[in-house]
Amino acid sequence: MVALVGFVAILIAAPLFLDPIIRTSVERNMNARLKGYETRVARAHLRLLDGALTLGDVTLIQKAHARSPVGHFPVLSIEIQWSELLTGHVVADLLLFHPRLHIDLTQLRSERADKVPFSKKGWQDAIESIYPVKINHFTVDDADVTYVDTDPTRPLRLEHLYIAADNIRNTRSARIAYPSPIKAEATVFDVGQASINGRANFLTKPTASLEATYHIENVPLKQFKPELDRINLDVSGGTLTSDGFVEYGTKTRRVEVKS
């Protein structure tokens, strides 16, 4: 009985000492791999019983415009994907809950002017430095993404964005071109809807490839006015609804618009 009480006491007390060390280590490791960006991690908690790691209030900052954070991640959680242990694979499950991304034209122009391409900013290495096991399942739940161009009253915004991707490490069906099922859906500009459903290959080089059907419904075109003005196209109303198919790979890039 004494041994059991002592074990429970250790499980309760250990995070008090470990969590600050883990928080500092995670923040340092991510920033060592990112180029042009840095992160600030407010909290970290390691659950000793199953090894689950949760980061709280992670802020992503573009160094060129440090006063306006690009992203905020209230909850970033990584844990072992237990179902894959039965197949002999030790991989992890990543969850981002209610992340918020906010990008404006000034930040976008700085990114375009940077000699280091966006795809080579070290994103994958930074994520992999958080946890010692490769990510195999990825979920984004209830995200908000906002882009502000020249007119702050016409932001391009996706709300309640949900993304799920499985078999990222190709632990199953590795011989097919697109082994990873993906799904995404979001509310567009308050009233529209958008979704994709398909498959991807996250291990292709230099970028991931995918094939998916898409559906766009009731998207108001007036929100695109600042962007369309650049090509001398004036749109003051109307909506966009469309269905089709998209394939983006190392050798094939095509879009089939069915309606």
In a 3-state reduction of DSSP, which class is residue 69? coil
Type of residue numbered 214: Y
* pLDDT exceeds cutoff 80 at 14: no
pLDDT class of 16 with cuts at 50, 70, 90: low
Residue 61: what pLDDT? Answer: 96
Burial grade of 96 (CB within 10 A; 0-12, 13-18, 19 or more): buried
**Scanning the structure block, which residue is given the tokens 């006491």?**
9
Type of residue numbered 51: G
pTM listed for this prediction? 0.87
Show contacts of 153-156: CB within 8 Å, 24+ apart: 154/222, 154/223, 154/224, 154/225, 154/226, 155/223, 156/189, 156/223, 156/224, 156/227
Residue 13: what pLDDT? Answer: 54
Going by C-alpha positions, the residue among 161, 160, 156 that lies closest to residue 221 is 156
Distance between CA 91 and CA 19 in Å, rounded?
A: 22
Residue 12: what pLDDT? Answer: 54
Q: Pick the more confident residue, 88 or 242.
A: 242
* pLDDT exceeds cutoff 90 at 15: no
Q: How many C-beta atoms surround the C-beta of residue 3 within 10 A? A: 7
pLDDT, tens digit, for every residue of 130-160?
999 999 999 999 999 999 988 888 889 999 9
* pLDDT exceeds cutoff 90 at 244: yes
Query: For the chain, where are the alpha helices, taking DSSP H only?
Result: 2-33, 82-85, 105-113, 123-128, 225-228
Residue 3: what pLDDT? Answer: 52
Going by C-alpha positions, the residue among 27, 21, 18, 20 that lies closest to residue 129 is 27
Report how far Cα 188 is from the mean position of its chain's Cα atoms: 18
Going by C-alpha positions, the residue among 30, 23, 27, 77 that lies closest to residue 50 is 77
pLDDT, tens digit, for every residue of 194-234?
999 999 998 887 778 999 999 999 999 988 888 888 889 88
Residue 54: what pLDDT? Answer: 96
* pLDDT exceeds cutoff 80 at 2: no
Going by C-alpha positions, the residue among 249, 258, 172 that lies closest to residue 209 is 249
Residue 58: what pLDDT? Answer: 97
Q: Say if CB 130 and CB 30 are below 8 A apart.
A: yes
Q: CB neighbours of 246 closer than 8 A, spacing ≥ 6? A: 196, 198, 210, 211, 212, 213, 214, 254, 255, 256
**Scanning the structure block, which residue is given the tokens 């099922």?**
181
Helical (H) or strand (E) element with 38:
strand 37-47
pLDDT class of 117 with cuts at 50, 70, 90: confident
pLDDT class of 163 with cuts at 50, 70, 90: very high
Distance between CA 126 and CA 73 in Å, rounded?
A: 15
